Amino acid sequence: MNVKAELYWNEFWQGKDEEKPQAVSAWQFGADPDHLAQLVIVGKKTATCSGYVFYEEENEPLPSVGDYSIILSSEDEPLAIIQTVKVEVLPMNEVSEEFAIAEGEGDRTHAYWWDAHEKWLKEELDKIGHTFKEDMLLVCERFELIHVK
């Protein structure tokens, strides 16, 4: 986590009665970080997903219910804080239309979601020597917006 994100996190918790969680991550959304972060801020985007294989390759733990994340701009500026409320690992071809809509992207249809994610996943998988499959596992995460900077 960069210094600005850490300052934002500490300022957010200052003066709260609740104990500040120690675990927090700071990251950008995939293909278009600024646009996707804006969708979160205006309430259109309440879900996100990524390939399970990326967590394996990077030896990263899967998100868990209750996790906090600081959403960063493309310039690594903190923009908002979200909290994970649900996590499912599903084959891509079993992701529901309702989940696709919750991702808030494009025209908010399952067809748009599929096309955009297939394109993005193919590009990212190619970088690590993996091949896209329609039934590849995705980590599907739902979140709530907690704070906007």
Whether the per-residue pLDDT at 121 is higher than 90: the answer is yes
- Residue pLDDT, tens place only, 59-115: 999 999 999 999 999 999 999 999 999 999 999 999 999 999 999 988 999 999 999
Whether the per-residue pLDDT at 14 is higher than 90: the answer is no
Report the pLDDT value the prediction gives residue 15, as an integer from 0 to 100.
82
- Residue pLDDT, tens place only, 19-42: 888 789 999 987 789 999 999 999
Report the pLDDT value the prediction gives residue 1, as an integer from 0 to 100.
80
Report the pLDDT value the prediction gives residue 20, as an integer from 0 to 100.
80
117-125 contacts at long range (C-beta below 8 A, 24 or more positions apart): 117/49, 117/92, 120/30, 120/31, 121/51, 121/92, 124/30, 124/51, 124/54, 125/51, 125/53
Report the pLDDT value the prediction gives residue 19, as an integer from 0 to 100.
83
Domains and CATH numbers, the chain: 3-148 (3.10.400.10)
Q: Are 22 and 67 in contact (CB under 8 A)?
A: no
Q: What is the pTM of this model?
A: 0.88
